[in-house]
């Protein structure tokens, strides 16, 4: 990451930050080009070595030594400029610190002030809620999960898929429960190819049916290939930093 700001050009395997940084015009990738950091059977030392030598012989070295009348490697300089332009701003300490400040430090400061108000009233309420949560959340029961728009375990790209969950809240209140669809493209081993999409399921007209609740959502797949999905139910409280902090999740 220090290389582009100094005018250098990266030559690396698809690993770590280079999975995101490489755009096919700002450097070279050794071996297969992938967009995740997950290792695959296609990446091995022998294949990478052959790819490296081939890139050096047919791309890197010729580009560097191809000079104009002034003795300058113009195409190499153009690639260096593209590397500098596309990578320096994104992979810099300045961007990193700004992200930490905006996404974490300021949010944490605002939450701390909220918890501190009225002699830490929100903090005390959150602690009491968390103490009572495990027993009450265990009473939540899923009745049925219905997926419409899928035939033979196949979705049609661009066509909406309807998701409906029926469940009993037990001792939980409706405002204490968050229902979400987690869905994304999947690798052959079942892992997500990239960060999955999170879609909230909403109560249908706030309707309560025979002591139960119905939650619905509509999802439109935009990519071809294998998908992995699930519906998760989590307890929520206004003073939480994130619903995930309770470690209480029910999957449907």
Per-residue model confidence (pLDDT) at position 2:
86
| Percent of the chain clearing pLDDT 70 (strictly above) | 94
Cβ–Cβ under 8 Å, residues 30 and 52: yes
Per-residue model confidence (pLDDT) at position 41:
54
Residue 149 pLDDT greater than 60, yes or no: yes
CA dist., res. 216 & res. 176, Å (int): 17
DSSP code at position 24: S
Burial 14-48 (b: 16+ CB within 10 A, else e): bbeebbebbeeebbbbbbeebebeeeeeebeeeee
Residue 208 pLDDT greater than 60, yes or no: no
CA dist., res. 36 & res. 20, Å (int): 8
C-alpha angle 19-103-127 in degrees, rounded to nearest 5: 120
Strands 177-185 and 197-200: antiparallel
Task: Tell me the pLDDT band of 200, cut-offs 50, 70 and 90.
Answer: very high
Per-residue model confidence (pLDDT) at position 206:
55
Per-residue model confidence (pLDDT) at position 153:
81
Beta bridge partners of 166: 144, 214
Residue that wins the pLDDT comparison between 224 and 61: 61
CA dist., res. 140 & res. 146, Å (int): 18
Please indicate, yes or no, whether the overall pTM of this predicted structure exceeds 0.75: no
For residue 211, what are the contacts with CB-CB under 8 A and spacing of at least 6? Answer: 168
Residue 207 pLDDT greater than 70, yes or no: no
Per-residue model confidence (pLDDT) at position 24:
92
Mean pLDDT (the chain, rounded): 90
Residue 108 pLDDT greater than 60, yes or no: yes
Per-residue model confidence (pLDDT) at position 162:
94
Residue 71 pLDDT greater than 60, yes or no: yes
Strand order in the sheet with 250-251: 197-200, 177-185, 227-235, 250-251
pLDDT digit string (tens) for 83-107? 999 999 999 889 999 999 999 999 9
Cβ–Cβ under 8 Å, residues 157 and 224: yes
Cβ–Cβ under 8 Å, residues 140 and 170: yes
pLDDT digit string (tens) for 18-33? 999 999 999 999 988 8
Per-residue model confidence (pLDDT) at position 15:
83
């Amino acid at each position: 990451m220090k290389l582009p700001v100094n005018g250098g050009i990266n030559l690396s395997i698809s690993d770590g930050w280079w999975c995101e940084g490489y755009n096919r015009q700002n450097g070279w990738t050794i071996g297969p080009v992938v967009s995740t950091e997950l290792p695959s059977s296609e990446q091995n030392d022998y294949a990478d070595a052959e790819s490296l030598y081939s890139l050096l012989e047919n791309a890197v070295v010729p580009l560097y030594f191809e000079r104009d009348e002034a003795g300058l490697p113009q195409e190499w300089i153009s690639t260096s400029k593209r590397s500098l332009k596309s990578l320096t701003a994104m992979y810099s300490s300045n961007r990193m610190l700004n992200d930490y400040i905006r996404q974490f430090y300021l949010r944490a400061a605002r939450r701390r002030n909220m918890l501190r108000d009225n002699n830490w009233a929100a903090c005390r309420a959150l602690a009491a809620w968390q103490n009572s949560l495990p027993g009450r959340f265990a009473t939540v029961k899923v009745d049925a999960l219905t997926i419409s728009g899928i035939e033979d375990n196949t979705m049609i790209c661009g066509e909406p898929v309807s998701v409906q969950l029926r469940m009993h809240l037990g001792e939980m209140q409706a405002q204490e429960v968050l229902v979400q669809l987690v869905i994304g493209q999947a690798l052959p081993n079942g892992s997500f190819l990239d960060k999955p999409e999170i879609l909230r399921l909403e109560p249908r007209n706030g309707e309560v049916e025979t002591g139960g609740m119905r939650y619905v959502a509509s999802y439109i797949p935009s990519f071809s290939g294998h998908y992995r999905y699930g519906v998760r139910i989590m307890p929520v409280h206004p003073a939480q930093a994130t619903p995930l902090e309770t470690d209480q999740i029910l999957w449907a």
